[in-house]
Amino acid sequence: MVESETPRLFHIILRYVNDDEAARSLVQETFLQAYKNLDSFRGDSQLTSWVTGIGINLARSWLRKNKRQQPMDEETMERLQPDFRFGRYTGSFEPWDPEQTAERAERKELVHKALDELSDSYREVIVLRDLEERSTKETAELLGISRGAVRVRLHRARQALRSLLDPHFASDFS
């Protein structure tokens, strides 16, 4: 289970904490906590949902302690540099359209800022349902709320995002 669930759990936690190293550490901590508390697993949900819930709770705690965005460290900068072997670029090459890239980055930043403006309970529902494509049932289990509450929060979160983003994208649709 650890091997098969690690990539998915990593991406979920990464979307919460937005820090590769912290996400890796939290994934390890998640599996450690799950192992230590395996006797408390009641079987009401799938084991993967239970483990994911532990990961989400650890990510929430991490966020409370570290309060979101931190400047990029030297190690992260180094990982973002292109990879060369024997003097040749090893990545795939696609023609670069700087205008399109800048526009996409700008849109992505606007969406992330709007997501950050939402309360944790609304952001979590958006992350799990829309970004992670979890079912309403699984989202409810992970967050410890009813399916109805998930639907209400999701609707309200989407409406809030629309209100926050409409001024930026209104000209795109007219």
pLDDT digits 0-9 by tens, 11-52: 888 888 888 899 999 999 999 998 888 888 877 777 888 888
pLDDT digits 0-9 by tens, 150-159: 999 999 999 9
Q: Do 106 and 174 belong together in one domain?
A: yes
The pLDDT of residue 43 is 73
DSSP 121: H
In a domain, 73, yes or no: no
Q: Do 102 and 154 belong together in one domain?
A: yes
Q: CA 31, CA 94: separation in Å to the nearest integer?
A: 38
Give SS3 for 62.
Answer: helix
| Residue 123: burial class (beta carbons within 10 Å; 0-12, 13-18, 19+) | buried
**What domain range includes position 19?**
1-68
The pLDDT of residue 93 is 62
- The pLDDT of 47-58, averaged and rounded, is 88
The pLDDT of residue 146 is 93
Q: Do 59 and 126 belong together in one domain?
A: no
Half-sphere exposure of 107 toward its Cβ, with a 13 Å CA cutoff? 10
Where among 21, 49, 68 does a domain terminate? 68
In a domain, 58, yes or no: yes
pLDDT mean across residues, the chain:
82
Structural domain count, the chain: 2
- The pLDDT of 80-91, averaged and rounded, is 72
Contacts of 138 (CB under 8 A, 6+ apart): 45, 49, 128
The pLDDT of residue 73 is 66
Q: Do 61 and 125 belong together in one domain?
A: no
In a domain, 103, yes or no: yes
Confidence tier at 166 by pLDDT (50, 70, 90)? confident
In a domain, 90, yes or no: no
Q: Do 122 and 62 belong together in one domain?
A: no
pLDDT digits 0-9 by tens, 95-129: 777 788 788 888 888 888 888 888 888 888 998 89
